[in-house]
Structure formats: structure tokens, C-alpha cells
Amino acid sequence: MKSNQYSVKVYETTVEDEEKFITFFDMNYTLFKDHLIVIQGNLSKKIKSYLDAKPLTYIHNIDLPKGRSRKAIEEEFIEERRENAISMQIAEAELKKLSSKLQNNLTVLDKMIRSGREINIDGDLLLLNRVNSGATLNIKGNLIITNVVDGLIRCSGNFMMLTASPKANIIFHGVEVENELLENKLNRVELKNNEIIITPVLKKEISWA
């Protein structure tokens, strides 16, 4: 993909008097020919024909993003890093809490489950890597996956903790869990009173590397 980034000069205006508008732009054409003209409100055929004939580059009734100061951008980055740090602490605490429940013949794997592989686990599984599309996990116990899942998961334990991509197929106690409930966030999926409960732990996908 090829892309370019430009700094564009923008002049935003409304047309209240057609003749005054045309006179103003005739007098300042040298300046405005290098601008993007944003016309808000009514754009008559006469003004449109004038702008097309000059020609001037214009758009109509579009709200452009307003520039922010360097300080404002830096403050947003600082706040985002702070929120991410808090989110990581929450996720780590949640993982620790659920990991303590993994005690039914626990298996720990620290490898990527690649396409075409099928893993069958009779007890609990703690997977410290990702599950690729085309791979399958059949887990009879509880399950925690600390990286994104693209493949097929079948789990019949009390809970799962995972992040699923749109390509994943997640089946919990024989019920297919809707992907949109699991996408792009770490989720805790539990069976309580014969009901599947899904609780987002983080809003964004995380990497535990």
C-alpha cells in the first residue's frame, strides 16, 4: 500500500451573499488557489459553477478534524499510557486469580498452536501463546489463553479466559459463543447456574510477551 501525508491549508466559510462571495474570491484568488475551501450551509448552482470554473478545490458541508496543540497530544499519550498500565494490572490480577483455580491435571504450553494441529486436553490448560486459524483445541477442563485465538476452541470446563479474533470459532459447553462478544478484548467466560456469563476484562487486545 502506498500512501502520502499532506499538510493542507483550509479556508472554511458560508455563502450569505453570492455577489460578495464571488467578488471576495476574485480579489483573493492567488491566495485561495492553494487552499482547500470548505463551504458550510447552502451551496447554490451559481457558486458551484464559479468554484468549478476557477478552478478552486472545495468540499461541501464536511466537518474537518481540528488541529490540536503539541501539549494536548502529549497529554493524551500520557493518559493513554496510564490507562494501559491500569488495564494491564487488572488483567494480571484476573489471570492470577483464575490461574489459582487451574488445578485439575494442569497442562502448561508455551508454543504457538499452528494451523492443522489438534490438541486434546482432559484437564485444565494454560496456553502462553496464540492459536492460529485452522488449529483446534479440545479442552475438558478450564482454559486460559494469553494471546489471540484465530482457530477453533471447544471447552467444557467451568471457565475460559481468552481473546478471540473475527476468524475464531469458540464453543463453550456445546454452545457457540458469538464472536462479536469476544473480539479485540480479553474476556472471562464462565458457567454459572447453567448460564454462560461473558465478562470483558480489557477493552483492547493485549500481548503478554
pLDDT in tens, 54-80: 888 889 998 877 766 777 777 777 776
Percent of the chain at pLDDT > 70 equals 81
Residue 84, pLDDT score: 57
Residue 207, pLDDT score: 41
Strand arrangement of the beta sheet that strand 143-149 belongs to: 107-109, 125-127, 143-149, 159-164, 187-192, 195-200
Residue 206, pLDDT score: 40
Q: Are 38 and 58 in contact (CB under 8 A)?
A: yes
Residue 202 pLDDT > 70, yes or no?
Answer: no
Q: Give the Cα separation of 52 and 49 in Å (integer).
A: 5
Per the model's pLDDT, the better-predicted residue between 11 and 84 turns out to be 11
Tell me the average pLDDT across 31-55.
89
In three state form, how does the secondary structure of the chain look?
CCCCCCCCEEEEEECCCHHHHHHHHHHCHHHHCCEEEEEECCCCHHHHHHHHHCCCCEEECCCCCCCCCHHHHHHHHHHHHHHHHHHHHHHHHHHHHHHCCCCCCCEEECCCECCCCEEEECCCEEECCCECCCCEEEECCCEEEEEEECCEEEECCCEEEEEECCCCEEEECCEEECHHHCECCCEEEEEECCEEEEEECCCCCCCCC
Residue 182, pLDDT score: 80
Q: Considering the chain, what is the average pLDDT of its residues?
A: 82
What does R_g of the chain's alpha carbons equal in angstroms?
Answer: 28
Residue 92 pLDDT > 70, yes or no?
Answer: no
Per the model's pLDDT, the better-predicted residue between 62 and 136 turns out to be 136
Residue 118, pLDDT score: 96
Tell me the average pLDDT across 170-193.
86
Residue 91 pLDDT > 50, yes or no?
Answer: yes
The length of the chain is 209
Residue 139 pLDDT > 70, yes or no?
Answer: yes
Residue 204 pLDDT > 80, yes or no?
Answer: no
Tell me the average pLDDT across 7-29.
88
pLDDT confidence of 147, banded at 50, 70, 90? confident
Tell me the average pLDDT across 128-152.
92
